[in-house]
């Protein structure tokens, strides 16, 4: 479970503000980010985002670029500053940038599997294997034609999670995107209790939701 915290006296820029500079500048920004997290005893960072900038921009200013190589290079530089001595989280697998809508508000569908394998999936599929520190991947509440079962987004779909483990070869910790408030879950009529159970049965290691024990 997760509780929103707004008491920390720190503010971080949106992802897009880190991208225009050089990788050195991005790394320096990440080091400042990481230093503040460590000062507040934060050892797991639910960042960076590896989603591409798509034509509909469902994630707004939270993405870096439409180019998979640029996103991959930036994402690999940032965790070196953001994470130590903790762990980064690459998100949102398999890629939210070209979805039709923002999964925060309603069920979101990506292009078909073959299409995202050639673009959106590339940063997530390459960065974890290239970066030599243990990490997490956050699974998205995304319908992927050719991969997910109807009515089950990637995060709740056993076949989709098997794709992450077996086809991509990711053997780290898989954590879901938020399960209690996001429209891509709630508008399917799935309550938080059921969503947590489905996500863990599907193969996630951690189920993330805003709230406390009393909300279950």
pLDDT at 19 > cutoff 80: no
Strand-by-strand arrangement of the 173-176 sheet = 44-45, 87-93, 136-139, 173-176
pLDDT tens track for 91-111: 899 998 889 999 999 999 999
Q: How far is CA 27 from CA 86, 127, 172, 178, 205, in A?
A: 16, 16, 23, 27, 29
pLDDT the model gives residue 210: 86
Instruction: Quote the tokens at residue 30.
Output: 């990440």
**Domains of the chain by range and CATH?**
15-215 (3.20.20.300)
pLDDT the model gives residue 71: 83
Q: What is the pTM of this model?
A: 0.85
Higher pLDDT: 62 or 133? It is 62
HSE-up (13 A, CA, CB side) for residue 69? 0
H-state helical runs in 83-182: 113-117, 121-130, 158-162
């Amino acid at each position: 479970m997760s509780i929103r915290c707004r008491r920390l006296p720190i503010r971080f820029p949106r992802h897009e503000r880190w991208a225009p500079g050089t990788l050195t500048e991005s790394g320096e920004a990440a080091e400042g980010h990481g230093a503040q997290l460590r000062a507040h005893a934060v050892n797991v960072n639910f960042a960076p985002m590896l989603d591409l900038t798509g034509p509909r921009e469902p994630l707004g200013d939270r993405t870096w670029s439409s180019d998979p190589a640029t996103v991959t290079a930036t994402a690999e530089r940032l965790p070196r500053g953001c994470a130590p001595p903790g762990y980064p989280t690459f998100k949102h697998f398999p890629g939210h940038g070209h979805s039709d809508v923002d999964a925060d508000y309603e069920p979101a569908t990506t292009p078909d599997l073959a299409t995202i394998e050639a673009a959106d999936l590339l940063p997530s599929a390459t960065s974890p294997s290239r970066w030599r520190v243990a990490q997490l991947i956050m699974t998205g509440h995304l319908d992927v034609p050719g991969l997910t079962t109807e009515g089950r987004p990637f995060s709740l779909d056993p076949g989709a999670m098997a794709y992450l483990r077996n086809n991509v070869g990711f053997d780290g910790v898989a954590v879901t995107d938020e399960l209690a408030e996001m429209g891509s879950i709630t508008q399917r009529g799935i309550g938080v209790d059921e969503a947590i159970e489905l996500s863990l049965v599907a193969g996630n290691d951690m189920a993330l939701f805003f709230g406390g024990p009393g909300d279950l």
